[in-house]
Structure 1
Amino acid sequence: MKKAIKIILWSLLALILVLGGAMGFFIYKISYGFPVSYETDAPKIDFPEGRPAILLFSKTTGFRHSESIDASKPVFQELAKRNNWFVYETEDGGVFNPDQLRRFHAVVFNNSTGRVLNDEQENALAAYVEEGGSLIGIHGAGDNSHHWAWYEENLLGTRFSHHSLDPHLQKTQVFIEPGRDSVLTRGLPASWVHEDEWYVFLTQPKGVHILSYIDGTRIIPNGNMLWIKNKNFGMGKYHPIAWYRTAGKGKTFYTSMGHTAEAWAEPEFTGMVENAVNWTLKR
């Protein structure tokens, strides 16, 4: 009997250690990602004449929002038809070279997480934006797995802390800030109800224009889990969820919305993304 109890206790201990190790591995992957390789060969791209080119980049080495990424691609192609864009979809970082980047009017980090570009490619993207290109980030593009100072400063203007966990997805009202660029607000209502995994940042974003926000007192922003006990805070009543700015001669736009596939069936969210791309095309 004692032997059986010992076996059970040791088995439980082993299970706890395995689960703890797996959770630690998962948290590390979310925070740092695991780059397997950096693609360096320039792909062959046939750019059509007379159509603005949009680079839709969905590579991940951190947490992968598979359902949202998969749902976004046909939406971008539909938007391309409506607006006469050319959308080039890829997860190949080889396209981030100066010659090909300058052919694109905007680059979209479509829930890209982790370190997805090498140093040379990061420098090429930064130079592209500062010389007049545009960078758009969606949801996971704003988490803390990128570890790139230029990106954090010029796309986010703040630093990610955590997201809501219990409940994970929450519905609340999204508000459009009055008086913002008319291209970005075109066709959007003053407010609508949206469900998402709400990101919490350590500070209000700096050097940006807020496009939309939520009332942070109407969600539960708690991100505590297991041994992490310091994430039970939010951003207060004024909780930005989409913003834009200039970076050198270029433009950046970011929204923390877009965790779920369902977001891409929401006309207000897809309208905001469509407006963001068209805003980058306005010179």
Structure 2
Amino acid sequence: MRKMLAVIALLTMAQAAPDPHRPTPTYDVVAPALPGRLDDAVLIVSKTNAWRHLEHIPHSNAVLARIADDLGQASYVTENAAVFNDEQLRHFSVVVLNSTSGDFMTPDQRAALAAFVARGGGVVALHAAGDGSHADSWYTGTIIGAPYAGHPGGADQFQSARIIIDQPDHPVMAGVTLPWSPVDEWYAYTASPAASGMVVLARIDEATYRPAAGREMGSHPVIWTNPATKGRVLYSALGHLPDAYDDPNYQRILTNAIAWAGRHPSPGAE
């Protein structure tokens, strides 16, 4: 009987164990203490209030910090969204939203990020930063600009697909070597971001992979910018797998994007 009760207790505990991919949503209210001498720096934020891409976030944060260092810029990596305040954001020229998910900012924090963009600050948003867990109208309209539909599942979740560059002369695309067919989780949207005024830099050739049924886009954007903001804003749907951040082409795009968003010369243009 005792053994049976012990088994039941273990099963109950296992069922109640939290899913690390689905953290309990929290809102940060105490801003972090920034290190000294941060100026024109890169802020890397991976706060998750919805699905957490725990497989890639530690590695991608490290890669992004190294990219900033290679560009000669200091970086600060945090999961504390209270860093979105006017005083602290003035230490940064670029904010990287690294698979941030859910509504991870309070209204005041969102207003601080909006003010940062309005005065010319750059934003580079990656992968889950553009998934369907974001409900705020300013965020979805300014940072993403397209309604999320989903991605292939099951055996088709990760597939190789050919990337087509639509804007080869854009600084973010400088130095990318084609043909390029990375393996990733391919997000689809119910409408092209171009319909809301975004500029598509690259797209997926849908003939080279199997889109989820009903989620074919025809012209299927994967990287785009928002030309309507004073600050430079870019979104890339790439980057579910840790290996993506070791891909030389994607590292080149991330390097170019951070340099471009911060209004610095891009090594890819040399």
TM-score of the alignment, normalized to the shorter chain, above 0.5: yes
2:76 alignment partner in structure 1: 88
Where 1:268 maps in the other structure, the secondary structure is helix
State the 1:46 CA deviation: 2.5
- What is the TM-score of this pair, normalised by structure 2? 0.84
TM-score by length of 1: 0.80
Among 238, 245, 268, the residue aligned to 2:226? 245
The Cα of 1:117 is off from its aligned counterpart by 0.7
* Misfit runs of 4+, over 3 Å: none
Equivalent in 40, 46, 49 of residue 58 of structure 1: 46
Given that 1:47 and 1:53 are in contact with CA atoms closer than 8 Å, whether structure 2 keeps it comes out as: no
- Report what 2:217 is aligned to: 235
Q: Which deviations, in whole Å up to 9, do the C-alpha atoms of 1:142-187 show, x marking residues without a partner? A: 0011111111111111110111114110001112224442x21221
State yes or no: 1:264 paired with 2:245.
yes
* Amino acid in the other structure paired with 1:245: N
Identify if the C-alpha distance between structure 1 residues 196 and 115 changes in structure 2 by more than 3 Å, giving closer, same or farther: same
Q: How does 1:165-176 map to 2 (within 5 A)?
A: 165-166=153-154, 167-176=156-165
Distance 1:264 1:178 in 2: 22
1:40 aligned to 15, 29, 33, which one? 29
Count of residue correspondences: 245
Query: Does residue 276 in structure 1 map to residue 257 in structure 2?
Result: yes
Tell me, yes or no, if structure 1 residue 69 matches structure 2 residue 57.
yes
Does residue 191 of the first structure (1) align with residue 154 of the second (2)? no
Q: After TM superposition, give the deviation of residue 81 of structure 1 in Å.
A: 2.5
Q: Is the 8 A contact 2:149 2:189 kept in 1?
A: yes
2:208 corresponds to:
218
Instruction: Determine what percentage of the aligned residue pairs are the same residue.
Output: 33
Q: Is the 8 A contact 1:129 1:251 kept in 2?
A: yes
Taking the TM superposition and a 5 Å limit, the aligned residue runs for 1:130-169 are: 130-166=118-154, 167-169=156-158
The higher radius of gyration belongs to: 1
Report if aligned partners of 2:120, 2:231 keep a CA contact under 8 Å in 1.
yes
Task: Return 241-250 or 86-95, whichever deviates more.
Answer: 241-250
Structure 1 residues not aligned, in runs of 5+: 1-21, 223-230
Root-mean-square deviation (CA, aligned residues, Å) is 2.2
| C-alpha contact 1:34 1:114 (8 A) present in aligned 2 | no
